[in-house]
């Protein structure tokens, strides 16, 4: 199947999945402040002062990042291929007060955004790159970023061989759930090689280590508080005391510089 035809099929599946998810969301119950975790905080620390910057929220989903950016005074374009998700974001933006930035919604796949060249100082994304044709998506990122611009993504990594084995052979079987869409995949070495070909600087940051917490989520289902604390403690201990093992974390911050 030609790449362009395959992309249309994948986009249709992803759009349908996230439109269905958007229909299940209760806008009144969404609280973007309480949902911030250590990865979110690390991303915004790395992004720095965004006031008056032109920022793309790539794969905006339900819009938590868009709202935070607006409260920090950014000029935000919220992009998602799901019209349903963009409608959720539009409604949440309508309801907030105290935002000093400006907001533009955009329904499009990141690989074919159709925005003008050199449009953004900064692109941020939360779990979006691994849903893309990474090479096509990053060609588009390079085009729409201004010279010296940056893109920062919270991502899933496929570099841990034990987790890669579990994802391939165990999830979806033996009562172990498989989350996400059928076309997504954690970033692997080939994806990072594509990024390095296209950007002047590619840096992987590991503000947290996550491995055993996935076992807790997938197998134990967070049913045992003591075991949950133990899994989190093991991950935190590895992050603190074994920095050479951080690259095997399932979570990574990928920073790209144009």
CATH code, domain with 207: 3.40.50.150
Strands of the sheet containing 201-205, edge to edge, are 102-107, 75-80, 54-58, 120-126, 145-156, 251-257, 201-205
Cβ-proximal residues to 230 (8 Å cutoff; 6+ apart), any chain: 212
Q: Which domain holds residue 206?
A: 3-257
Integer Cα distance of 98 and 146 in angstroms: 28
Cβ atoms of 4 and 171 closer than 8 Å: no
Cβ-proximal residues to 15 (8 Å cutoff; 6+ apart), any chain: 81, 82, 83
- pLDDT truncated to tens, each residue of the chain (258 aa)? 344 555 888 889 899 999 999 999 888 777 655 556 899 999 999 999 999 999 999 999 999 999 999 999 999 999 999 999 999 999 999 888 677 779 999 999 999 999 999 999 999 999 998 888 888 888 999 999 999 999 999 999 999 999 888 888 878 787 777 777 777 888 888 888 889 998 999 999 999 999 999 988 888 888 899 999 999 999 999 999 999 999 999 999 999 998
Integer Cα distance of 188 and 218 in angstroms: 21
- What domain count does the chain have? 1
pTM over 0.95: no
């Amino acid at each position: 199947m030609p790449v362009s035809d395959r992309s249309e099929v994948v986009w249709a599946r992803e759009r349908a999945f996230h439109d269905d998810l958007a229909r299940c969301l209760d806008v009144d119950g969404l609280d973007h402040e309480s949902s911030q975790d250590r990865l979110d905080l690390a991303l915004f620390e790395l992004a720095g002062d965004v006031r008056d910057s032109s920022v793309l929220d790539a794969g905006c989903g339900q819009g938590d990042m868009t709202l935070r950016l607006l409260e920090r005074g950014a000029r935000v374009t919220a992009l998602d291929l799901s019209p349903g998700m963009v409608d959720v974001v539009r409604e949440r933006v309508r309801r907030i007060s105290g935002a000093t930035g400006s907001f533009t919604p955009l329904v499009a796949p990141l690989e074919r955004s159709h925005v003008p060249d050199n449009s953004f100082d900064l692109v941020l994304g939360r779990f979006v790159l691994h849903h893309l044709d990474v090479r096509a998506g990053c060609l588009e990122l390079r085009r729409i970023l201004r010279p010296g611009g940056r893109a920062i993504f919270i991502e899933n990594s496929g570099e841990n061989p034990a987790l890669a084995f579990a994802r391939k052979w165990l999830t979806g079987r033996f009562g172990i759930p498989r989350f996400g869409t059928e076309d997504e995949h954690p970033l692997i070495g080939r994806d990072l090689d594509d990024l390095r070909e296209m950007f002047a600087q590619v840096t992987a940051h590991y503000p947290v280590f996550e491995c055993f917490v996935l076992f807790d989520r997938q197998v134990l289902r967070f049913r045992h508080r003591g075991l949950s604390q133990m899994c989190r403690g093991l991950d935190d201990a590895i992050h603190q005391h074994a920095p050479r093992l951080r690259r095997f974390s399932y979570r990574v911050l990928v920073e790209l510089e144009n």
